[in-house]
Amino acid sequence: MGAVVAMLHAGVRCAVPAQQVLLAEGDPAPEPGASLWGDPAPDRAAGAAHEPAARTVRLSTGGAFRAIACARPRLVEVDRERVWPLPELLAEILALPHVVGLAEIDGALHWVVDARRLPDIGA
């Protein structure tokens, strides 16, 4: 797979191909950004047990850029044998077209996200 930016988004490990990352900034974006997992679960909104977002990563989607609030973004190399495409059944269950696979990074599984598949902001 090559270089990815691994991060925590809403407490969930994910990885985005490095060529889709335009910029990583020190503070979360003040404007509403994209949410990779849909609306937050009510229990997360009330008392988040996950690490709060401290950074913003701006992604190239092929159209307008999208800001993603995250924690601990870092650049890592991932070998192809540590990346698996998302099984068709799991893709149907998740109903998140931008989640395209799984990658093992430092012994933990990360969702692989293709920013070009993010739904439109108005959707």
pLDDT digits (tens, 9 = 90+) for 73-123: 999 999 999 999 999 899 899 899 999 999 999 999 999 999 999 887 654
Q: How many Å apart are CA 21 and CA 8, to the nearest integer?
A: 15
Give the global pTM: 0.80
Q: Which residues of 5-31 are buried (b: 16+ CB within 10 A; e: fewer)?
A: bbbbbbeebbbbbeebbeebeeebbee
